[in-house]
Amino acid sequence: MDIRSWVGSKQDTTRLGLATITLSAIALLAAVTWLQRRETSPGTRLLVVVGLIVPGVICFTTVGRAWYLPGALLVVAAAMAASELREDAREVVETISRHWLAALTVVLGAFYVFLGATALGVAGMLGIGGGITILAIVALSSRVPPRVASLVLVAAALPFAVLTWWSIVTPLLAILVVTIGWFALRSSARFARDNRAS
């Protein structure tokens, strides 16, 4: 049986497979964290919902029919995890209002990884590397000076966009990463200063 018929007749199954494995690992981490939900904060449980729903939806495009069952299970699990957040609605709203820019930058970085996995050659590697760097700099933003973090963000987003300049998606994505990410890094640095002051 030809495996391509199960993965939407994709030609580059290796990169898409690696992207699927990475996203599945994120979903697994989110699921394990969800099993310990009595010990986690509302903010962490919100990340669990994102960690379940994003791989659950994106992998429908990377795997095709082979993802019907696991994808459906992840979407249902994300809905169940989201329903539990209603008890802590106020804290969830505060968390979202405080970190929504960083969360949006993380989503854009994940798209960078995904697009890099579907690209070929040096451009694909730069897309994957740039996306991982975007995720890392957002995670470490409270420990890195805002100016340095902003330069790293630009350096992570620019090469992939330049090499795929003929595409509408990647240059636009790079602009969004740099613009939204800049505000997210400033907001994170301000929040970290306020916490140290208090």
Q: What is the DSSP string of 99-119?
A: HHHHHHHHHHHHHHHHHHHHS
The pair of structure tokens assigned to 77 is 């699990």
CB-CB neighbours of 79 under 10 Å? 12
pLDDT under 70 in the chain at which residues?
Answer: 1-15, 37-40, 42-43, 87-89, 92-97, 189, 191-198
Instruction: Using DSSP, state whether 149 is helix, strand or coil.
Output: helix
- How far is it, in rounded angstroms, from Cα 168 to Cα 8? 23
Look at residue 73 in the predicted model and tell me its pLDDT.
93
- How far is it, in rounded angstroms, from Cα 122 to Cα 194? 41
Each residue of 55-104: pLDDT tens digit?
A: 888 888 777 778 889 999 999 999 888 887 776 667 766 666 677 788 88
